Amino acid sequence: MLTLKSQEFNLAAQAEQVVNFLSETKNYALLLPENQTSGFQCSPSQFSFKAAGQIELTLEKQLVENNFLHFKGAKSNPFAFDLYVRIQAEQNITKGYIEIKADLNMMLKMLVEKPLQKLLTEMASNLATQLSAGK
């Protein structure tokens, strides 16, 4: 099992605002890096995109709570994975990180570990940009 985490983010937003933003699948189009992804599509319960120009990934919303969001990779994905967003409210800021847990063989792990880590880093950075812009 491969576990990757983004850097911790500190957002000048209330936790409720962060959860509301992340609960809307359409907002993941704003978080995914444009230079690494394409073909973004969404419905109220899932979103999909093409990563690195070749791998189609679909994530289905599983659970949304005050400090935790869980998206599960669809069965049609090339490998099994889960995306988690963990947040914690502290005074006037919200801290947290984005995490992926993937079930990969060694060969696939070598191929996708660095791109997935970069994806998480950029998603966390884009989240901070979006919420600091007051969107």
Q: What is the DSSP letter of 34?
A: T
**Burial, 40: exposed, middle or buried (Cβ in 10 Å; 0-12, 13-18, 19+)?**
middle
Say whether pLDDT at 28 is over 80: yes
Here the tokens at position 54 are: 């070749």
* Per-residue pLDDT tens digits for 100-123: 999 999 998 998 899 889 999 999
Q: What is the DSSP letter of 39?
A: E
CA distance 110 to 106: 6
Q: Tell me what the mean pLDDT of segment 15-34 comes to.
A: 94
CATH topology of domain 2-130: Alpha-D-Glucose-1,6-Bisphosphate; Chain A, domain 4 (3.30.530)
Q: How many helices (H) and strands (E) does the chain have?
A: 3, 8
Domain-wise residue ranges, the chain: 2-130
Say whether pLDDT at 6 is over 90: yes
pLDDT given for residue 24 in this prediction? 96
Nearest of 49, 20, 15, 66 to residue 122 by alpha carbon: 49
